[in-house]
Structure 1
Amino acid sequence: MTKLPYPDLPAHIEALRDEGLLIEVDREINKDTEMHPLVRWQYRGGIPEPDRKAWLFTNIIDSKGRKYDMPVLVCGLAGNPEIYQIGMGCRLDEMGKKWADAFSNPLPPEIVTSDDASCHELVFEGDALLNGNGLDALPIPISTPGFDNGPYTSSSHFITSDPETGVQNVGNYRGQIKAPDRLGMNTSTELRTGGYINWLAWKERGEPMPCAVVVGCPPIVSYASVQKVPEGVDELEVAGALVGAPLRLVKAKTLDLLVPAEAEVVIEGYVATDLLEPEAPFGESHGHVNITEYNGYMDVTAVTRKKNAVLTSWVSQVAPSESSVIRRFAYEARQMSYLRDSLGITGIKQVKAHEPLTSLSRVIALAFEKGTPKTEIWRALYGLASFRQAEGKWLVAVDEDIDATNSDALFWAMAYRCRPQHDVHVLKHKDQGHGPRSLIEPEDAAVLIDATLKEPFPPISLPKKEFMENAAEIWKELGLPTLRPESPWYGYSLGEWSEELDEMADRAVKSEYWETGKIYAQRRRGDVAMNTEVRTVETDIEEET
């Protein structure tokens, strides 16, 4: 067996098992009614993010009692950020640079023969697809029982190509299981996906579009498939750059396309370009059910797979989910790279997409270092609002002391550091984007908010860091529940804090506050109103003298 320069899916599963991040379920589970609801509870049941796991189901049936011999891995690519780190092979704080380097230096693949490709260990074509070896042999679960109209592939990487240049594109789209030899395809046109652009090009030629759908593969392929790479760049070459080695690809059995040699399952076929057919309802990643639309469909020409294949299925729908964790780090890295490297924005420290319920594309925070010019802040806000067709509905600029991942902190900054009459702009004529579509108003808008400090503020009213740290030690000594600090967890100056005030505070913690009382008694006056700030009176006196 060829030694791989990067982990395939079985190696990744073993790594999760070793790290205690894998729940293995060998009891009977119904893929159509039980599998996704069970895993969904780790996102909707108050389970802290670090405690969420990957799930491997090995005893699968459907509602008719049919048994499947193929395991299903759910949340195995990004059930939590730690799982994502293992799959990416680096820490979260290293990912921005890793993605940026991969965008700049895509790595051409290594083409291998079919005999050296484990994805071709079993090949089913023609009549075999209708005799129990087609899509009906795959234990694709129903994601949203009670609303979805059937099983959908959710971790399905659609490989297509530009008919003129031959450059391939890989995008992750849902695929409705319609027949043993027919698969739906929804390329989310509002996101301007590569699969849709290629479909339009094949339609212009009057030819069906060749397409290979990968379900289960080396993790790095999955991570690259959801990334919004520049148009004309092959995600598989970006995946190679991410692992620092050419990705091993093999020519599909019935198509002129290259697929990952270590894919678990590959569905080959042609997507019609002259006809569309109804597809959905399906619970989508924007947190609502996508109502029935006319979308593409693929006539399957072959299903190839490993002998001991493991199918993957992503929990998507309402965020947070596996889908949103996968997209979050990739999107933020791409947005940061665009602002810093393409637009040359100075002072930008990080971009953070809000995940819970809003699903990353609607609410985005941009954090800036102290002293960043106002012009750069607004250039970044407008730049990100126009980066992609439907990205950014509420964009908030904050100072770097604000935890941009904490929605409470964002509201805090908006409440005190933003003057709406000056610091809020509305950008009209935006696309509605990925979400429920209005039949009343076809357009949307973006709200750009500068919630950075415009002048010095008093300190944050929490004890200074050293006192909170000392108290944490006492807390631990008392055997109290484990602390999980939330920013801000200690006080710090925002510029409006004098040396004299600091001396008073220092005397206070030394229990010498009586001295301050004596000083204040000497400063009594009768020519000011109640609540007059001392700094304003002293400024007036200084100006008069």
Structure 2
Amino acid sequence: MAANDTHSGGITRRDLMSSAAAVAAASVTGDALAAQDAPEKRPDPAPKPPFDSMRGYVAALEHHGLLRRFSGVDQDRYDATAIMYQLVDTLGVRAAPAVWFDNITANGRTYPGPVVSNLSGHWDAEAIIWGLPRDPYDPTAAYRAAKQMHLERLVQRDGEYAQIEPLEIASAPAPCKAVRKTGDAVDVTAFPFLRGNPGDGGAYINTASVFTKDPQLGVNLGTYRCQVKGPRKIMVNFEAGQTGIKMVNAAKARGETRIPVTLVIGQDPITWLVSSSRIPDRLRNPKPIDELAVAGGLRGKAIDVVRTEDGEFLVPAHAEIVIEGTVDIINLEPEGPYHEMYGYMGIAKEKNYVLTVESMTHRENPWVMNSFTGVTAEYLTSAQNAAVVYQLRKAHPEVVNYESPHDSQGLVYLSIKKTAPRQALEIAKPLAMFNPLARVTIVVDDDIDVMDSAAVRFAVGSRWQPALATQIFEKRMAFPLDPAAPDRKTTSKVIIDATRQWPEEGGPPFYQELNRAVFERAAPDAIARVTARWPEHLRPARRC
């Protein structure tokens, strides 16, 4: 079935999931491609970080039982998308494993693959990438430990992550230079870039680190949706507010009509983290930043790099595919729509940027990483959230923790050790004013775990007084992909103060003690005692 035969604006998620006959039909299999193309199953010893390549990291995920393989998936019928929805619906967004698809049909043809996805979605990805222990019972333990580790490093370095300059190596042994093609020999459609949703405008490259550069800002790595329109034609969506579009606008101001751009696909997990997140924070540091040096600092080892064929960029040598070309910043074309991170279809754009591919290099039998955007967690967040906590604590030492839940884009949670009336609103105001993702900011007391959305809802339901502890802001900058922003540029925002309201704030003269607090004070060893006596009934299932 040709890819355009399956495109329909009338397909719903229910229709899509009915293809989860797809899930049954595309059975999990141990079959690999060839020995050199697939990670060994549970290699001994386990691969250790830092991972120079995506392949080493995937091998580590499989060793830890966090990879599921599917062979014979038909993405022209949206099997892969249905599989990912089913895994997330069944296991949860932070407990769904990584997936491997080989012998995959897409875009009207069959590719040997593999296509891999959800590599950073599981809680334990934080343990594997940062070299931390996996807790056999608590899935969030590694994330909490990683966040604390990054926070301590930020404190030691006055809020900056360490940098290790990348190491340039010769092109000859570099894996990403194994195959080189230029001009009309280039065909990006030879690789399984997927249409992830029936509503998409076409197949997309959605996990590339997009390299751009600017005389003032240096080299930037960003992740933008890139629609494949032909063998040498790719649309690049430089979204508003991102560094990439700032570089485009600066080039226009200099009178330029084209800029060099390189897409790096199948990069190591730390380069992917830097590309996809606000690390480093360019809003606070406008000076040129070597983002590959930041990636090297985070992983504790330099990134091996090689120069692109056009000489414009140094790129990770162990990547899977490198696509080089120039973007026309004057003559724009339609692009989209695309299934975006909020779980809503992104709006088609009448004018977007066209990349003409001049050369492409890649590994032998390269792998493709795909993102099921809006379905899975995209990248590791401990380092970015640690940076937010650090900045908040600099201004307000009362801040305890911060979290942005993956399953609720637009919400952020903040916990504080409250020491004064109306303090919660004061501390949260910068978040609400300047963080475009923080449309709803909920502040709770320090006895509430912000990683537990049920606990946050408990605080809202039992401590929040809407008339007394709410602040609304109008006409604030919206995140460009926010589906609720009326003009797609501005939005209203709200702070919900779900801390215990003091009498000075109009709250009750006192709050009754929590039932559990009374119980634990009177019987401090009771839970440990009964758990030790009946562990098979009371301990959670061992995960690893």
TM-score (norm: length of structure 1): 0.78
- Counterparts in 2 of 1:311 and 1:88: CA distance versus 1, 3 Å: farther
1:98 Cα offset (Å) = 2.4
- Quick one: which of 131, 151, 172 aligns to 1:89? 131
- Quick one: which of 357, 371, 378 aligns to 2:425? 378
1:84 Cα offset (Å) = 3.6
2:514: which partner in 1? 460
Note if contact 1:159-1:168 (Cα within 8 Å) is conserved in structure 2: yes
Q: Alignment length, in residue pairs?
A: 460
What 5-or-longer segments of structure 2 have no aligned partner?
Answer: 1-47, 133-141, 283-287, 503-509
In 1, the alpha carbon distance for the partners of 2:181 and 2:440 equals: 48
- Quick one: which of 208, 212, 220 aligns to 1:169? 220
CA deviations on 1:23-81 (whole Å, 9 max, x unpaired) are: 122x311233222221221112x3245652111122122363x23233111112x1311
After TM superposition, list the pairs within 5 Å mapping 1:42-441 onto structure 2.
42-44=87-89, 46-48=90-92, 51-62=95-106, 64=108, 66-76=109-119, 78-90=120-132, 91-92=142-143, 93-98=145-150, 100=154, 103-129=160-186, 134-144=187-197, 146-162=198-214, 164-165=215-216, 167-189=218-240, 192-205=241-254, 206-228=256-278, 229-231=280-282, 232-293=288-349, 294-318=351-375, 321-323=376-378, 326=379, 328-341=381-394, 344-356=395-407, 358-359=408-409, 362-369=410-417, 371-374=418-421, 376-388=423-435, 390-433=436-479, 434-436=481-483, 438=485
1:441 Cα offset (Å) = 8.2
Which range moves more in the overlay, 452-461 or 394-403?
A: 452-461
- Counterparts in 2 of 1:385 and 1:327: CA distance versus 1, 3 Å: farther
- Counterparts in 2 of 1:332 and 1:309: CA distance versus 1, 3 Å: same
Amino acid at match of 1:8: S
In 2, the alpha carbon distance for the partners of 1:151 and 1:410 equals: 39
In 2, the alpha carbon distance for the partners of 1:365 and 1:207 equals: 43
1:350 Cα offset (Å) = 0.5
1:107 Cα offset (Å) = 2.4
1:185 Cα offset (Å) = 1.1
- Counterparts in 2 of 1:355 and 1:166: CA distance versus 1, 3 Å: closer
After TM superposition, list the pairs within 5 Å mapping 1:16-27 onto structure 2.
16-25=61-70, 27=71
In 1, the alpha carbon distance for the partners of 2:104 and 2:69 equals: 12
- Counterparts in 2 of 1:440 and 1:382: CA distance versus 1, 3 Å: closer
1:292 Cα offset (Å) = 0.8
Of all paired residues, the percent bearing the same amino acid is 24
Q: What is the RMSD computed on CA atoms of the aligned residues?
A: 2.7
Match of 1:386, SS state, is helix
2:60: which partner in 1? 15
Note if contact 1:199-1:273 (Cα within 8 Å) is conserved in structure 2: yes
- Counterparts in 2 of 1:438 and 1:79: CA distance versus 1, 3 Å: closer
Match of 1:275, SS state, is strand
1:333 Cα offset (Å) = 2.2
CA deviations on 1:364-389 (whole Å, 9 max, x unpaired) are: 111112x433465333211212333x
In 1, the alpha carbon distance for the partners of 2:276 and 2:489 equals: 27
1:234 Cα offset (Å) = 3.1
Note if contact 1:217-1:260 (Cα within 8 Å) is conserved in structure 2: yes
- Counterparts in 2 of 1:94 and 1:438: CA distance versus 1, 3 Å: closer
2:39: which partner in 1? none
1:173 Cα offset (Å) = 1.1
In 1, the alpha carbon distance for the partners of 2:228 and 2:91 equals: 32
Match of 1:422, SS state, is coil
Match of 1:24, SS state, is strand
In 1, the alpha carbon distance for the partners of 2:487 and 2:236 equals: 27
TM-score (norm: length of structure 2): 0.78
2:41: which partner in 1? none
What 5-or-longer segments of structure 1 have no aligned partner?
Answer: 486-545
1:411 Cα offset (Å) = 2.9
Match of 1:225, SS state, is helix
Note if contact 2:53-2:318 (Cα within 8 Å) is conserved in structure 1: yes
CA deviations on 1:129-177 (whole Å, 9 max, x unpaired) are: 1xxxx11111112211x21121112211111111x24711101111111
Note if contact 1:345-1:379 (Cα within 8 Å) is conserved in structure 2: no
Note if contact 1:147-1:283 (Cα within 8 Å) is conserved in structure 2: yes
